[in-house]
Structure 1
Amino acid sequence: MDNCIKLSELKVDPNALAPIGQGSFGKVYEAWHNRHHSVAVKICRFNMDEQIFQDEKELNKRATDENACVPYFGFISENFQGWVCNGLVFKFMECGSLGDLLHRHRVYPANCLSFRMLHEIAVAMDKLHRINADQRLLHCDLKPCNILLDIDLHAHITDFGAARLSTVTENRGQAIQQDPNSMRTIPYCAPEFFSDNFRRTSKYDVYSFSILTWELLAGVKPYEGKYRYITNCQRAYEIWHKVERNGRPDLGLLRDKLDNYEAFGHFLSRCWAQNSNERPTFLDIATELEPLTDTDEAVLQDAVMETKQELLTKLNRPSFQRSSENYRYNFTDVFTGHHPTAEQSERMEIGDNLAAQPANYQHIAQNENDQLSVGDRNLSDEDCRRLGKNYARSWETLASDLGISFAQIDNIKQDHRRNEEKKIAVFQTWKEIDPNPTVRNLIQKLRQIKVDIDCYSFLDPDRVIRDELRNERA
């Protein structure tokens, strides 16, 4: 039976109120639960369709039952200050995502550890595809940032926001066809997705796995060099056309990194074959990768310890372990942004419930906001509305320049009809996904992409931020 978890059961670290991840679904926070200990809490965006939330909840439950994903503990669904808060609670993965390990922290595991990760992913994907023979579960968004690593660097699949259930017709040589606005990440999309009305089968996930495999072993993002200095939209279309013409990442980058380069290159070529019928199943993949995991245990453990130590150094932390004593604040503080004073924190230490004094709490939070400079406050919905009304150029170009994903651009196009609404949605999306959605940060980005000052001058009427930015460059 699915487990409902109350917001009151969750505590957060006062020094870690910011989200540890975010995307089109909402935001993820680290928290503490007395039964499950360290957990990751995925809070869905307020306007998410209820059915999407219910579908992802069910998919995670089924995948967890088969030990095919990050362990799912339960869901949140309750009223908080007038709105319904929906969320999912998972086991916290101490070493973060594979994507962050490679590209944010630039830590590259030894081959023996990389092959263990790849084998674990293949085994999990095989279990995922076998959950229901009549309605096969497809992940549809397999990529490094959706692979999470636990404290021993074992790999776990996460994020079923783009997952779909196929139908029995796939077993008869047919396949499901997806809405073109469904979530996707272009470098990991199989060629049939572009050429055959967004078709997805279990072999779509195999293709994504092959790109992920190349990326882990090469240590660079696919197609990164050639399309690095163009906008996201342009890059997406360039990759799209390359893949349709049978273009793939450069296997030559693996030549000096693998002892069995020729055999492994042939294996990858089969996994990303243009014809999906020529790709192996995940059972075949797991079987072929298993011999590569046959490493002396001491050598493997040395590789694990070396990778963990390098990651800790990059994180500037002494350990991955956290004490339950660190988690002292109510989880709802991540919504309100409240930061209690030292006196209130001391009362919390001895068990005084700060939530029992909402009036005083609100007063303190307001005083803190009053002390923020004009540039340090977060962008508001009213700011987004005014920005959208004032912005005169293409909304798609703006979205791309602000780092909004191809999938999110498609969602905006689908959800809004008028250009002004789309422009407002672009600024609102940036506000949700940017880790630092302050007025100062946005003005800096708009100046970099040479947006007319009239568009955002109301955010900085006294030119304080613009003068500061000009002085910094000087």
Structure 2
Amino acid sequence: MADLSKGENIYLFKNWNEGFVGNGSFGDVYQCFDENNHRYAIKLYKLQGSNREIDSVKKEIDEEVKLLQMMKTSGNVINVYGCVKYAYYIGIITEYMPQGDLDYFMQQKEHFIPLSIRLQILYDTATGLDHLHRYSFDKKITHNDLKPGNILIDDNFHAKICDLGGANIAGYAPYSLNIQERSHSTVHTTRYAAPEFLDEDHRRIRMDSQHTLRLTRRMDIYSFGMMIYFVLTTNHPFSKFHDKAELKEFIIKGIKPDLEVCDIFERVQAGEDNRGLIETLVELAKHCWKQDKDERPESARWLRKKLKELFSSSGNVEMDVKKLQDKFPTKQHSTGEKVSLDVFLNPYIGISKQYSSASQRIHEDENEKANVP
């Protein structure tokens, strides 16, 4: 595989709309390519603050990327290939997932996704979460923003967990990660967040001497319960609530989404022979989102084993995958003109008169040509 640690070896479409994939919690995601035209994804973070703060954030992200690269591949956590740094930007390069995130995938193909593929996605997600939670004895990782937008789908409709920017090593929230945050997104998305995370009184009790919040794996388990709800209904939990303060209050009080077996059959194209399976999934979701964290499943490994049993009895998934692939074939690569990452970022970096090395050379060449009599 090509060395992706240098911007000169990374290429994006000159027309940024052509390669735009979507918005993450802290930045925009684009398709990118190496010199052999192998496709990847790059998430570009816009940094702000003093030079010292920016340097500190770059170092933190760089260390996190290195840690993720060292993790044994589980097959269900997105592969991270490199991290490139510029004056006010940092880019994390990952594998490219052609079907996009789970939110987009479900909304676009809702009425065509059989129960077997929905179960495959849940099983894959539980497997990835188990891998994060059990990475090593001394490095316990929690995701802290598990939601459909952070699950990516490949051409065979397998799922991988992504967007580990909110993930925390050893279970503690970072004290000062000064990344420019989009107004419509938060590090921990409210609709999928555990009540103990949202409850400020509870949080104050759980603060340690360094004033950081002890984050637990059971917060991720709660979010996984809400993920089951989404996969079965294609609705985000509490979708009728638009006021964030009101939504937080309801979650803290213990209000849960309505999830009944009888409402799911038509959505998931299930026959009566699948009733027991759907009943088990509904009960599993409700077990995961228990208000008392100690009543939730204690581990993602238990979830993975439970879902494996259900997945094994869900039908002929290979046939269902083939049918869905025939109905929604993968889009071919665009043939649009590409430029290096340095050139791609040049208009943005140039605004602040800060250039990467390659962009600096381009800028100097242009000035030199302009001064030729």
For the aligned pair, the TM-score class normalised by the smaller chain equals 0.7 to 0.9
AA at the equivalent of 1:91: E
Match of 1:287 among 289, 294, 305: 305
Q: In 2, are the aligned partners of 1:211 and 1:272 still within 8 Å (CA)?
A: yes
In 2, Cα distance between equivalents of 1:180 and 1:222 = 30
Matches within 5 A, 1:281-320: 281-294=299-312, 299-311=316-328, 319-320=330-331
C-alpha deviation, 1:28, in angstroms: 1.5
Give the corresponding residue for 1:39.
40
Task: Please tell me whether the aligned partners of residues 192 and 199 of structure 1 are also in contact (alpha carbons under 8 angstroms).
Answer: no
The aligned amino acid for 1:288 is: K
Compute the TM-score of the two structures, normalised by the length of structure 1.
0.60
Counterpart residue number, 1:246:
254
Alpha-carbon deviation of 1:37?
Answer: 1.0
Which ranges of structure 1 fall in alignment gaps of 5 or more residues? 168-175, 313-318, 339-354, 364-474
Tell me whether 1:53 sits opposite 2:68 in the alignment: no
Classify 1:336/1:106 alpha carbon distance in 2 versus 1 (closer, same or farther; 3 Å).
farther
Following superposition, the deviation at residue 252 of structure 1 comes to 1.8
> 2: CA distance between counterparts of 1:306 and 1:201?
40
Q: Distance in 2 between matches of 1:62 and 1:96?
A: 25
Bigger Cα displacement from structure 2, 49-58 vs 241-250: 49-58
Native 8 Å contact 1:142 1:208 kept in 2: yes
1:154 and 1:219 map into 2 onto residues whose CA distance is 17
Q: Shift in Å at residue 262 of structure 1? A: 3.0
1:273, 1:138 → 2: CA distance? 19
Matched to 2:115, the amino acid is: N
Unpaired segments ≥5 residues, structure 2: 49-53, 178-185, 204-212, 266-273, 349-361
- What is the match of residue 378 of structure 1? none
Q: How does 1:403-442 map to 2 (within 5 A)?
A: none
Give the counterpart letter for 2:317 in structure 1: L
Shift of 1:187: 0.7
TM alignment of 1:19-38, pairs within 5 A: 19-34=20-35, 37-38=38-39
Quote the Cα distance in structure 2 between the aligned partners of 1:107 and 1:27: 29
Contact map agreement 1:137 1:163 (CA 8 A) in 2 = yes
1:196-215 matches, within 5 Å, as: 196-197=202-203, 199-215=214-230
Percentage of matched positions with identical amino acids: 23
**2:301 corresponds to which letter in structure 1?**
L
Q: Structure 2 length normalisation: TM-score?
A: 0.74
Amino acid at match of 1:30: Q
Q: How much does 1:186 deviate?
A: 0.2
Rg larger for: 1
* Counterpart residue number, 1:277: 294
Would the alpha carbon gap of residues 90 and 200 (structure 1) be closer, same or farther in structure 2, given more than 3 Å must change? Answer: same
Which residue is 2:342 aligned to?
332
Asked whether the equivalents of residues 101 and 151 of structure 2 are also in contact (C-alpha less than 8 Å), the reply is: yes
The CA deviation at 1:306 is 3.7
Q: CA deviation at 1:62?
A: 3.9
- In the alignment, the residues of structure 1 paired with residue 256 and residue 151 of structure 2 have an alpha-carbon distance, to the nearest angstrom, of 22
- Aligned partners of 1:75 and 1:87 also within 8 Å: yes
Q: Which residue of 1 aligns with 2:232?
A: 217
- Relative contact order: is structure 1 or structure 2 higher (C-alpha 8 Å, sep ≥ 6)? 2
- 1:266 corresponds to which residue? 283
Alignment RMSD, CA only? Answer: 3.3
Query: What is the CA–CA distance in structure 2 between the aligned matches of 1:36 and 1:74, rounded to whole Å?
Result: 17
Cα offset, 1:296, TM superposition: 8.0
**Structural mapping, 1:187-202, within 5 Å:** 187-195=191-199, 196-197=202-203, 199-202=214-217
Q: Is the 8 A contact 1:59 1:160 kept in 2?
A: no
Alignment partner of 1:251: what SS? coil
Equivalent residues, number: 319
